[in-house]
Amino acid sequence: MTSFPVILIFFLILACGKPDASKEVGSEEILKIDGSNIQGVYQTPLYALNMNTTLGSIGSAGIYRSYDSLKAFVKVYLGDRGVIHRQAIHLGLRCPDLGDDINGDGYVDLREAHFVIGNTIIPLDGDLGSQSEGSRWYPQGNGIAGGYFYEQTASFGRLFEDLRDVDPNSLDAVEKIPYDQGLSLHQKVVLILGISSNTRLPDSIDTMSGLTRHSSLPIACGVLSRSDRFPSELYDRSDSITSSHPFPRTRIRPRTPEHREPDIIVPLPRDPSPARGRPLRQRFLRWMRSTFGNGND
């Protein structure tokens, strides 16, 4: 990561904030084939991996389901400006650590992490309701420290049907769930990838899914748990399920035609001058036609 001292100071300032009042509620879920067990809030702090192993929590992630509405939020304070960060919920039960560095190069690359976190179940991309349709868009780091705020809403019914659909590629790292089985988001892993291409990495870094070493390097991870509320950094003034938060945010929108904000049509200003009457000659001819002619102007 670039500007490490600045980023460290920024993190320490954030770490001195008000303690989070959210707490875990209910450690177990009974799986239901209709997905009705998935309700309420699931959240996790995101802990840094690899280049930020000493900085602790660098953000939060949360999922909220109410009726047919499913919302996903990811807040990352420290990343890389201009870097696209792939992110997803995985089927694993814990985050990788340096003990999972199989080749001993000091980094947990994506392939090493995959042994721990398992396959992707829900990509946190441009279309939360589908495993594949939003894969061309992921959030991009911005601001001073390369952080970002991700927010997406989808139909839970649409997502759940997509998760139980036929797997078009059983050999990739994205997995479907059997049609007669359910899914729990409790204890599922959220992993975030992506580091600047200017960062020096050893040749031993391995990757998957056709990604480059830099775009696939894990930078943050957390394990979702059921909770009574979101952590403070995911609070959003514009949403009924959260409240105000002290940090400025950038609302991320997918750069796809179906999600593009509508164009604003600005009407042309009206001519402020008063309407002019017809010249005298035209009014006289009109009177002549209407009196002696066929009545047409």
**What CATH number corresponds to the domain at position 219?**
2.60.40.200
**Is residue 106 a part of any domain in this protein?**
yes
The percent helix, strand, coil of the chain (3-state, each to 5) is 20, 20, 60
**Is residue 271 a part of any domain in this protein?**
no
**Is residue 265 a part of any domain in this protein?**
no
Provide the domain limits for residue 36. 4-259
Contacts 24+ apart (CB under 8 A), 249-258: 249/75, 249/149, 250/142, 250/143, 250/148, 250/149, 251/149, 251/151, 252/139, 252/148, 252/149, 252/150, 252/151, 254/126, 254/127, 254/134, 254/137, 254/152, 255/126, 255/137, 256/126, 256/134, 256/136, 256/137
pLDDT band, residue 27 (cuts 50/70/90): low
Whole-number pLDDT of residue 279: 62
Six-digit token string for 49: 């991996």
Query: Which carries the bigger pLDDT value, residue 99 or residue 271?
Result: 99
**Is residue 297 a part of any domain in this protein?**
no
**Is residue 290 a part of any domain in this protein?**
no
CB 235 within 8 A of CB 247: no
130-154: pLDDT as tens digits: 999 998 999 999 867 888 999 999 9
**Is residue 267 a part of any domain in this protein?**
no
Could you give the CA distance from residue 230 to residue 38 in angstroms, rounded to a whole number?
A: 16
In sequence order, which residues have a C-beta less than 8 Å from that of residue 23 and are 6 or more positions away? 227, 228
Q: How many domains does the chain have?
A: 1
